[in-house]
Amino acid sequence: MDKILVEGGRSLKGDVKISGAKNAALPILISSLLTDGVCTYRNVPDLKDIQSVKQLLSHLGAKIETSGDVVQIDAAGLFNHEAPYDLVRKMRASILVLCPLVARLKRARVSLPGGCAIGARPINLHLKGLASLGASIELNHGYVEASADFLKGSEFYFDMPTVTGTENLLMAAVLAKGVTVLRNAAREPEIVALVEVLNQMGANIKGAGTSIITIEGVPSLKPVSVSIIPDRIEAGTFMVAAALTRSDIRLLNCEPDHMKGMIHKLRQTGSDIQIEGKNIRIKGADEIRSIDLKTLPYPGFPTDMQAQFMVLMSVATGLSMISETVFENRFIHVCELRRLGADITVSGNTAIVKGVKALSGAPVMATDLRASASLILAGLVARGSTEVNRVYHLDRGYEAIEEKFGKLGAAIKRIR
C-alpha cells in the first residue's frame, strides 16, 4: 500500500490548477445511461472513483473512450440491469445507477452500498422516492430489486436533503410520465450541474439550486457534450493549506460562487482572500484566529471541509467549537490528529479544539477521503516528518495531490 511522506515547515507559493469536481462527474457520467448516443464529458478528473464508475458503466453495457480529461460514453448498447456487490462496494455512489436503469430498462438489481467509515449512509430516501414514482422495490440478499413498466410523476418530500438521493430521483423523473415535484431537495452546486446537463439533453427541470425542484417528464433524452465544474472541495483543501502554512498561493480554474461559505469562514480566521474571476488568491495570516463552525447542507459550510478546517483550528490561537451535523461519525481524523499533538475533545457531534503552538510529525492512518486530506495538511505544518498510510482513500478523490503540493514547494513524496 502506498504511503505519503511530508516534511513540515515549508511555505507554499505559486499557482495550482483545480481539477473537475468528483461529486459532479459521478452523477453526470452516470446520466449517460439515460440516452442512446455518444455523450462527451470534458474536465473529468483522473480519480479512482472515476475509474470505478467507468468500470461499472462498461459492465452495464456502455462503451467508454477516454483521452486525457475527455470521457466519451455511448449507452446505446445498455443491456445489463445488474450492478454487482464487488463493483458497488468500491464506491457508494454506484447507487446512482439505480434510477437510470429503471428509467431505461424498466428494472434494476443494484447491490446495497452499505455503510462507510463516516456513517451508516442509508439509502431509504432514494428507495422511498423511487417507489413514489411507481416502481416496485424489494430488498433481497443484499440487493435492491426495482422494476416499473413505466414511472409516473409524483410529489416527493425528502425527510432531509440528500445529495445523491436528489440526483437519483432527478434521473428517475426526467423520463417519467407527467410532473414530479421534489421538496426539501439538496441544493449543492453538483445538483445544479447535473440539472444543467439533463436540460441540455432535452429534459425540462426547474428550481435546481433551490429546495423545490419541478421535473416535467419527456419521452426521451439526446446525447450531450459538456464540461465538468471545478471541484470546490479540492479548492477549499488548497486554501486551508495556504492558511495553515501562512503562504501566498493562487488557485486557477475555480468556481468562487460555489465556495462562499468556506471563503467567509476562512476570512474570519484572518486569511486574505481575493477573487480574481475564476481564480482565487489567498494569503495566510501570521496569526490564525480560532472560530466556531457547524457543517450543514449547502449553502451551509460543507461537511467535506470539516476535517481540513479542524487541522487549521488545531494550530489557531484559542478555542474553537466544530459541530458535524450531516454525518454521525465524521470525527475519525481526531484520533490521528491527536497523535500529531492536536488538543481536541469530542463530545457527541461536537469537537472542542484548543489551538497548540505546533504539531509534531508522526506516522498516521488515513480512514476516509477527506480525513486523509486533513492528515496531509497537518503534515505540511507539523515539525519533522509525517507519514500518511493507506493513501488509497486520498486517490479516490484527489488528482495527483502530492504532485500539486510538490509544485507549490511542499516537501512531499509518495512511497509506493
Q: How far apart are CA 365 and CA 388, in angstroms?
A: 6
Q: Which stretch binds ligand EPZ (CB under 6 A): 138-146, 161-169, 281-289, 358-366?
A: 161-169
Q: If we measure between CA atoms, which residue out of 133, 178, 187, 128 comes closest to residue 158?
A: 128
- Contacting range for ligand EPZ; rule: CB under 6 A; set: 124-132, 135-143, 198-206, 217-225: 124-132
One of 26, 56, 97, 259 touching ligand EPZ (CB under 6 A): 26
Find the binder of ligand EPZ among 93, 169, 344, 377 (CB under 6 A): 93
Pairing relationship of beta strands 38-42 and 272-276 according to DSSP bridges: unpaired
φ, ψ at 60 (rounded to 5°) = -80, -10
Strand locations in 189-340 (E) = 204-206, 212-216, 225-227, 248-252, 272-276, 279-283, 293-295, 319-324
Q: Confirm if 244 and 381 have CB atoms less than 8 A apart.
A: yes
- Contact between 339 and ligand EPZ (CB under 6 A)? no
**DSSP conformation class of 50:** H
Residue from 81, 109, 250, 370 in contact with ligand EPZ (CB under 6 A): 370
For 388, phi then psi, to 5°, come to -100, 115
Q: Determine the interface stretch with ligand EPZ among 82-90, 118-126, 134-142, 307-315 (rule: CB under 6 A).
A: 118-126
If the CB atoms of residues 382 and 388 are measured against ligand EPZ, the closer one turns out to be 388
Clarify whether 254 is annotated catalytic. no
x/- mask, ligand EPZ, residues 310-329, rule CB under 6 A, reads ----------------xx--
What's the min distance (Å) between Cβ of 238 and ligand EPZ? Answer: 16
Nearer to ligand EPZ, 214 or 295 (CB): 295
Which residues 6+ apart lie within 8 Å of 141 measured at CB?
none
Q: Does 372 bind ligand EPZ (CB under 6 A)?
A: no
Q: Which residues of 126-157 are buried (b: 16+ CB within 10 A; e: fewer)?
A: bbbbbebbbbebeeeeebbbbbbeebbbbebe
Contact between 258 and ligand EPZ (CB under 6 A)? Answer: no
Judged by beta carbon, residue 312 or residue 359, the one nearer ligand EPZ is 312
Grid coordinates representing 160 are 432531509
Is 299 one of the binding residues for ligand EPZ (CB under 6 A)? no
Q: Please identify every residue annotated as catalytic.
A: 116
Q: Which residues bind ligand EPZ (CB under 6 A)?
A: 22-23, 26, 93, 119, 121-126, 160, 162-165, 186, 303-304, 326-327, 369-370, 397
